[in-house]
Amino acid sequence: MRYRNLAIIAHVDHGKTTLVDGMLRQSNVFREHQEVVERVMDSNALERERGITILAKNTAVEWHGERINIVDTPGHADFGGEVERALGMVDSCLLLVDAAEGPMPQTRFVLRKALALGLRPIVVVNKVDRKDARPDEVVSLTFDLMVELGADDEQLDFPILHAIAREGRAWREGEAPGHDLTALFEAILAHAPVASGDPAGPFQFQVANLDYSDFLGRLALGRITRGTASAGDTIVRLAGDGRSVRARLTKVYTHLGLQRIEVDQVVAGDIVALAGIEEVQIGETIADPDHPDALPRLTVDEPTVSVTFSPNTSPFAGRDGRYVTSRHIADRLERELLTNVALRVEPLGGESYRVAGRGELHLSILIEQMRREGYEFSVSRPQVIMKTIDGVRCEPFEKVVADVPVEATGGVMEALSARRGQLVDMDQGETRARLTFSMPSRGLFGFRTQFLSMTQGEGLLSHVFDGYEPYVGALRTRPYGSLVAMEQGEAFAYAIWKLQERGVFFIDPGTEVYVGMVVGANSRPGDLEVNLTKNKKLTNVRASGSDDNIVLIPPKRLTLEACLEYLADDELLEVTPKHLRLRKRLLDANMRKREAKRAAEAADTEDAVVAAG
């Protein structure tokens, strides 16, 4: 059997997973009448709920007797680590580009990685059915992008297909629209190289991913670069720490469709799973014990954002969670590190851990996953990770593309420049404009909510990490304070009603609150302490009133991401399986005042030192 190993890469939502559906269906890997959901590769719960791919996953199809291993990758910038890992397993890639949107920030990121590895992309202009599709322009923009990223002549000579992934159709540019994906499969067989690797050589394999089975323990997934392997073979694991550990393979698997298939032997070139190697980790080489040749370790970009995870210390701690101690949190984070290649965890002393990732979504997906598993903990405000480069303090910068209705252009430009965004490009059409900014990652924190309201939900905002630049100085942070509960108890509708002009509430009447819990956003700077547990006789409001007679503005319900965006430095997010509560780090108002005074004094002293110096 010959193998072709192919990654599908693109910006978020350009249709990768939908295209894989079509490839699976049309290569007859499903049983007849088998019910198959849409975007079948997005198999985990969070992927299905959010409609995005989070983890890279592999599948395989056969076309005219040729095996094609396909790795579907996520398009969201925060999961770039997954793409980097996937690209290490393949020899070619399909670069999908939305026929209307054209190349976007993450297109640049994934393409840069693919070109650097010497891959020759096949360009698929997808969604040509869109009424705003402009495939020719998109191809020329893609070409320009490749030139800019330093593609060589061979890479620039890319085949071009047009596709409607949703209908399972693709055809060569300039040809009549096809009715299925035949043209795509033909292009893959013609352009994607057959996987190299001498099957007669000594066994060598690199671990690109891990899976777990109750019966078999850890499974190592990856590509065989040399030789063959069978159950019962003795191999050596070349561990990250330099040790060589022998093990015996208990089972070996290949892939077809959504199945993992146990076989007698797996062969060079294929993407396979090996069972029986205890403690195996991503990036390690598995080899013939007589030829322990390690492959270069997998490298992924560094994280740019971090939060602190600590045990939950709120008065309501332990009510919902099954796993609540620092030990539980540490064990869970350690387990996450096995497969989440771009994540970093560092103990901070005491009971806290610094958890660093590639963006807020990268971290919030982990937080959401953990709360669903029964964990309870608190999370601090996200911080960017600074770096000193040649003695200069630097911070992460992003390339930001805002696609907005023309009317919103001015407002968005103003808002982003207030956040230190530099406009680097502007492309104005009749109804929409595309603004490209370069700006500090910090400046984007908390911007998404504002952006959506500025563009009435019509704006598209995407950004991707673009390197470190010198620190640009303090940015204006959240311009308003919080409404903070001053009594523990149930929040009464009457109390909320009395206070609703003072800001925006995050909680419903009847919610249990505690001292120091953040219940809303103040409309002014500084925090406002509010008592929500007072229930006056409603006769004060109306002669014969009841709760039904007071008109409450519905509370603003914050999602996990919105909570993280909201947090100030002196606040925490309390995460439990059932609740997300914002709180002050110091629950006691007097302690907060003392702390604020101390901070102000320290700042004064600093100023004095600066003045004296």
Ligand X SMILES: Nc1nc2c(ncn2[C@@H]2O[C@H](COP(=O)(O)OP(=O)(O)OP(=O)(O)O)[C@@H](O)[C@H]2O)c(=O)[nH]1
| Residues in touch with ligand X (CB under 6 A) | 10, 12-18, 39, 52-53, 74-76, 126-127, 129-130, 164-166
Binding to Mg ion, residues 37-96 (CB under 5 A):
53
What's the token pair of residue 481?
A: 């304070």
Residues 546 and 556: their CA atoms lie apart, in Å, by: 24
> Using DSSP, how many helices (H) and how many strands (E) does the chain show?
15, 35
Residue 260's binding partner out of ligand X, Mg ion, none, with CB under 5 to 8 Å set by partner kind: none
Cβ proximity to Mg ion, 82 vs 398, nearer residue: 82
CB 156 within 8 A of CB 146: yes
Q: How far is the CB of 72 from Mg ion (least distance, A)?
A: 6
Cβ proximity to ligand X, 111 vs 513, nearer residue: 111
Residue 14's binding partner out of ligand X, Mg ion, none, with CB under 5 to 8 Å set by partner kind: ligand X
Cβ proximity to ligand X, 129 vs 320, nearer residue: 129
Binding to Mg ion, residues 171-190 (CB under 5 A):
none
Residues 585 and 577: their CA atoms lie apart, in Å, by: 20
- Total binding residues toward Mg ion, as defined by CB under 5 A: 3
Residues 248 and 246: their CA atoms lie apart, in Å, by: 7
Cβ proximity to ligand X, 24 vs 580, nearer residue: 24
Q: How far is the CB of 52 from Mg ion (least distance, A)?
A: 6
What's the token pair of residue 215?
A: 């019966």
Q: How far is the CB of 122 from Mg ion (least distance, A)?
A: 18
Residues 186 and 119: their CA atoms lie apart, in Å, by: 18
Task: Give whole-number Cα distances, 351 to 92, 172, 347, 363, 591, in Å.
Answer: 45, 58, 8, 19, 21
Residue 333's binding partner out of ligand X, Mg ion, none, with CB under 5 to 8 Å set by partner kind: none
Residue 13's binding partner out of Mg ion, ligand X, none, with CB under 5 to 8 Å set by partner kind: ligand X
CB 235 within 8 A of CB 288: yes
Q: How far is the CB of 203 from ligand X (least distance, A)?
A: 33
* 3-state secondary structure (DSSP) of residue 401: strand
16 binds Mg ion (CB under 5 A): yes
Cβ proximity to ligand X, 10 vs 495, nearer residue: 10
17 binds Mg ion (CB under 5 A): yes
Phi-psi bin for 276: left (phi > 0), alpha (psi -120 to 50), beta?
Answer: left
CB 348 within 8 A of CB 429: no
Residue 361's binding partner out of Mg ion, ligand X, none, with CB under 5 to 8 Å set by partner kind: none
Cβ proximity to ligand X, 166 vs 191, nearer residue: 166
Cβ proximity to ligand X, 84 vs 270, nearer residue: 84
Length of the chain: 613
Taking the CA atoms of 274, 280, 286 and 291 in sequence, report the sign of the dihedral they define: negative
Residues 399 and 421: their CA atoms lie apart, in Å, by: 9
**Residue whose C-beta lies closest to ligand X:** 75
For residue 131, give the amino acid letter.
K
Residue 509's binding partner out of ligand X, Mg ion, none, with CB under 5 to 8 Å set by partner kind: none
- Per residue in 152-163, is it b (16+ CB within 10 Å) or e — as a string? eeebeebbbbbb
Residue 18's binding partner out of ligand X, Mg ion, none, with CB under 5 to 8 Å set by partner kind: ligand X
Cβ proximity to Mg ion, 16 vs 226, nearer residue: 16
Q: Which residues bind Mg ion (CB under 5 A)?
A: 16-17, 53
